[in-house]
């Protein structure tokens, strides 16, 4: 179900040159966000065509672009924490992600995640070992729609492999094709509420900045007064999906959408596929057509752990403008 595209030598060279020219001048993430808007037009034509087909849903809900070179020594050790770091350098891998993301829409971040950095580190953290967070490891991260609680959730997420010595697998599944018509119809019922996961909700409680305080207040409002939503939406023939079993609940437990939901959960459980995002691999997931998760793995916490970088993409940045009060132009 997921198509793999291997970069050839010419494409690699062209991308390297483009990134090097950006890296020479770029001073901060706001500037990077602006530069890639135009610079992404200089990606090789083959890549732009691939992304155009993917965006238009000619291709499946997940694609992989492999073969971006990563120098293990240059990237240094795997960060031990996902805490925001004001001195974080812009790495060539960040630029690569931002360039590809910009051909799919506009990259953005949540101010409530990792201080709103444009790209986010997914690394295991000891204190989150058993949690349902990206920084967990010992527990399987149950498959989900990314940021399912938010009406501003990304249209696409990009996951890039900095290193993955444990070969820990990401999982991907789409709406199982055998889902019965009756269940499909029932799942259009707005009978569910979604709850922000702790990654968004908790760590801003003591935010020092005005932006942090506003972001926290927004999350609290969502927790106390969540809106009623459906699992499927869009076109009944080819619906989009919004589902996160760990962070949602039904409003009316007797409604037939609940049994349909339970059947769907079991089918997705059975149909998910493993994808090992290895060093230099970029997995792109359509957040309305597929869910993703992660198998459990043994973390080491010694700087040599699995390390992914993630970037969110929205196709409608205009819609986000009412939430953009952060010093980072791309954060909501």
The residue among 146 and 229 lying less far from Fe ion, judged by its C-beta, is 146
Residues between 143 and 162 with contacts to ligand AKG, criterion CB under 6 A: 146, 159
Rounded least distance, CB 95 to ligand AKG, Å: 21
Quick check: 146 binds Fe ion (CB under 5 A)? yes
Quick check: 285 binds ligand AKG (CB under 6 A)? no
Exactly one of 99, 195, 264, 308 binds ligand AKG (CB under 6 A); which one?
308
The residue among 97 and 159 lying less far from ligand AKG, judged by its C-beta, is 159
Instruction: Tell me the Ramachandran region of residue 151: left when phi exceeds 0, alpha when psi lies from -120 to 50, beta otherwise.
Output: alpha
Exactly one of 122, 172, 186, 332 binds ligand AKG (CB under 6 A); which one?
122
Q: For the chain, first and last CA: distance in Å? A: 32
Residue reference for tokens 């059947």: 263
Rounded least distance, CB 122 to Fe ion, Å: 8
DSSP-derived secondary structure for 234-289: S-SSS-EE---GGGEEESSTTSHHHHHHHHHHHHHHHH-EEEE--TT-EEEEETTT
Question: Where does this chain touch Fe ion (CB under 5 A) — which range of 125-133, 145-153, 189-197, 321-329?
Answer: 145-153
Distance from C-alpha of 320 to C-alpha of 331, rounded to nearest angstrom: 9
Exactly one of 294, 309, 326, 328 binds ligand AKG (CB under 6 A); which one?
294
Which does residue 287 bind out of ligand AKG, Fe ion, none, counting CB within 5 to 8 angstroms by kind? Answer: none
Element at 92 (helix H, strand E) = helix 92-104
Buried b (16+ CB within 10 A) or exposed e, 236-267: eeebbbbbbbebbebeeeebebbebbebbeeb
Question: Where does this chain touch Fe ion (CB under 5 A) — which range of 51-59, 70-78, 142-150, 200-208?
Answer: 142-150
Q: Which residues bind ligand AKG (CB under 6 A)?
A: 122, 134, 141, 146, 159, 170, 292, 294, 308
């Amino acid at each position: 179900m997921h198509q793999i595209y291997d970069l050839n030598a010419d494409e690699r060279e062209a991308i390297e040159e483009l990134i090097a020219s950006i890296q020479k001048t770029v001073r901060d993430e706001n500037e990077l966000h602006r530069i890639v808007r135009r610079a992404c037009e200089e990606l090789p034509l083959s890549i732009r065509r691939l992304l155009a087909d993917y965006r238009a849903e000619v291709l499946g809900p997940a694609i992989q672009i492999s073969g971006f070179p990563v120098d293990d020594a240059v990237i240094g050790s795997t960060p031990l924490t996902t805490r925001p770091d004001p001195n974080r350098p812009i790495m060539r891998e960040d630029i690569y992600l931002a360039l590809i993301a910009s051909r799919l829409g506009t990259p953005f971040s949540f101010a409530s995640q990792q201080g709103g950095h444009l790209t986010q580190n997914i690394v295991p953290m000891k204190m989150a070992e058993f949690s349902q967070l990206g920084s967990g490891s010992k527990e399987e991260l149950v498959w989900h729609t990314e940021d399912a609680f938010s009406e501003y959730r990304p249209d696409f997420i990009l996951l890039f492999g900095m290193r993955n010595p444990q070969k820990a697998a990401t999982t991907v599944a789409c709406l199982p094709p055998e889902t019965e018509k009756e269940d499909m119809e029932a799942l259009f019922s707005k009978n569910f509420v979604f709850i922000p996961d702790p990654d968004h909700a908790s760590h801003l409680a003591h935010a020092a900045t005005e932006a942090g305080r506003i972001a926290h207040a927004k999350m609290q409002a969502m927790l106390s007064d969540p809106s009623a939503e459906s699992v499927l939406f869009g076109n009944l023939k080819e619906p989009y999906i919004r589902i996160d079993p760990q962070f949602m609940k039904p409003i009316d437990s007797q409604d037939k959408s609940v049994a349909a939901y339970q059947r769907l959960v079991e089918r997705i459980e059975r149909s998910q596929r493993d994808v090992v995002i290895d060093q230099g691999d970029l997995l792109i997931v359509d957040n309305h057509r597929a869910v993703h998760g992660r198998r459990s793995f043994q973390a080491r916490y010694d700087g040599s752990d699995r390390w992914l970088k993630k970037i969110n993409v929205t196709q409608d940045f205009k819609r986000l403008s009412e939430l953009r009060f952060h010093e980072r132009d791309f954060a909501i």
